[in-house]
Structure 1
Amino acid sequence: MSSHARHVKAVRSDEHGGDARKERWREHRRARRAELVQAAVRAIGEHGPDVGMDDIAAEAGVSKPVLYRHFSDKSDLYVAVGEWGTDLLMQRLRPLFRTNGSANQLIRSLLDAYLGLIEEYPDLYRFVVQRNFTDRPVASDPVSHEKTVIANSLARLLGRYLRALGLDSGGVEVWSHGLVGLVQASGDWWLDRQTMSREDLTTYLAQVIWSGIDGVLRSAGLVLDPDEDLELLDQAYWEAVPDEGSG
């Protein structure tokens, strides 16, 4: 091998080695950032939605300057925590959008998953919704993103059932966004008041939601039992439907 060829090979090896080192460094930073988000979630659980950067740094066992190496500012950390919460919620909701069963079972399971999460993480929910932690407007609002992801998933589900029944599905986006707003507003009220059990709230909301769906069906001349299994879409259909992402 000529000296020139050896030089070219050495340069290429350095380039490949440098790319590998950069990727390892990026992966390390992603992992470290994820660890700090987890620490922030724990600090919120301990100190409440008015948690400060000092509290989060102490929970993570680092100094504030170290936090700012991984998050450009408080708003950046706020968005990361909000995305963590949205991902967790969608992990619980996503499988429910891919199941058969009765209308009541589906409605109640979705409601219970959502209300169960905000009951489990009340201060995290308030932290994200109240947005007191941010020090500037955020370009990516995790609350709006969460509502959109859930509404879009619900619209796809309703659309599949309406089309399977031979009905027009043109209104599913409007209905879905309205239902998401209803559940979120009710959840906000319930989290602050706690004047009823989660089971009772789920029952009341399920009654309201089914009444709306029942009205649409009856206007088309269809009457369905909300407790009857709706085996309208077979397993092969569900397996062909891709998972709904959270991002």
Structure 2
Amino acid sequence: MRAIGKHGADVGMDDIAAEAGVSKPVLYRHFNDKSDLYVAVGEWGAELLMRRLRPLFHENGSPNQRIRRLLDAYLGTIEQYPELYRFVVQRNFADRPVHSDPVSAEKTVIANSLSRILGEYLRLLGLDSGGVEVWSHGVVGMVQASGDWWLDRQSMSRSDLTDYLAQIIWHAIDGVLRSAGLVIDPDEPLEISDQGLRVVAEAEEQEAEHG
């Protein structure tokens, strides 16, 4: 990790060995080859990110607060470790196909966590949850692609990027809810109960009555 931070995503085995204060043969006692080392670094990076994201999936708050917290944690991590991110995503270091792809594994874990949350809320609202996996993987892919672009361009602040992505994500969710006749304030705490659902339904009915 120190070698990647110092030499960038194009770090070589000589750089890593020198940073560790050992020879390359010593490194190869611990890792079969460069691809094995790449996987280990990728798994370390994925676990670092998930340690920051996991608690946020279970924190309460309004939809906007919850969306923004997750986005900010992700973007903050790749901003803090840009060379590690490039090292893992670009895969240039690995000299053969890897037996496990840390990037795909990380995206799947995040998408599955998001699917569980979205599915739970949609079912409590009485809506079809069949599309949550598609939505979740789509959202994760969009955020990653946006993060790639942002790291390379740096044409806006992290806060502005978070705002744009949060807006896109919420409007997608809001569209699904409105198609089922439900209107939720994205800035109000989201506490679903029978009473809460009746209040939402009544508000929608009143809006329809008054044009």
TM-score clears 0.5: yes
1:109 aligned partner? 69
Say whether residues 1:139 and 2:99 are aligned partners.
Answer: yes
Kindly provide the CA deviation profile for residues 9-52 of structure 1, in whole angstroms up to 9, marking residues without a partner as x: xxxxxxxxxxxxxxxxxxxxxxxxxxxxxxxx111000000000
Structure 1 gaps, min length 5: 1-40, 234-247
Shift of 1:230: 0.5
Kindly provide the CA deviation profile for residues 131-181 of structure 1, in whole angstroms up to 9, marking residues without a partner as x: 110100112011111111100010001111111222111110000000000
Question: How far apart are the structure 2 equivalents of 1:89 and 1:160?
Answer: 24
1:162 aligned partner? 122
Kindly provide the CA deviation profile for residues 55-92 of structure 1, in whole angstroms up to 9, marking residues without a partner as x: 11111111111100000000000000000000000000
Which residue, out of 158, 169, 184, partners 1:209? Answer: 169
2:47 aligned partner? 87
1:63-78 superposed matches below 5 A: 63-78=23-38
1:193-204 superposed matches below 5 A: 193-204=153-164
Question: How far apart are the structure 2 equivalents of 1:85 and 1:51?
Answer: 16
Shift of 1:119: 0.1
Q: Secondary structure at the match of 2:65?
A: helix
Say whether residues 1:222 and 2:182 are aligned partners.
Answer: yes
Shift of 1:232: 2.4
Query: Partner letter of residue 188 of structure 1?
Result: D
Q: Secondary structure at the match of 2:44?
A: helix
| Higher CA-based Rg | 1
State the TM-score, normalizing by the size of structure 2.
0.90
Q: Secondary structure at the match of 1:174?
A: helix
Q: Secondary structure at the match of 2:188?
A: coil
Say whether residues 1:151 and 2:111 are aligned partners.
Answer: yes
Which residue, out of 144, 147, 161, partners 1:184? Answer: 144
Query: Partner letter of residue 186 of structure 2?
Result: P
Question: How far apart are the structure 1 equivalents of 2:95 and 2:43?
Answer: 17
Question: How far apart are the structure 2 equivalents of 1:227 and 1:220?
Answer: 20
Question: How far apart are the structure 2 equivalents of 1:221 and 1:100?
Answer: 24
State the TM-score, normalizing by the size of structure 1.
0.77
RMSD: 0.8
Aligned-residue identity in percent:
82
1:62 aligned partner? 22
Give the aligned length: 193
Question: How far apart are the structure 2 equivalents of 1:102 and 1:169?
Answer: 20
1:126 aligned partner? 86
Question: How far apart are the structure 2 equivalents of 1:231 and 1:221?
Answer: 18
Kindly provide the CA deviation profile for residues 171-227 of structure 1, in whole angstroms up to 9, marking residues without a partner as x: 100000000000000000000000000000000000000010000000111010000
Q: Secondary structure at the match of 1:129?
A: helix
Q: Secondary structure at the match of 1:224?
A: coil
Question: How far apart are the structure 2 equivalents of 1:100 and 1:171?
Answer: 23
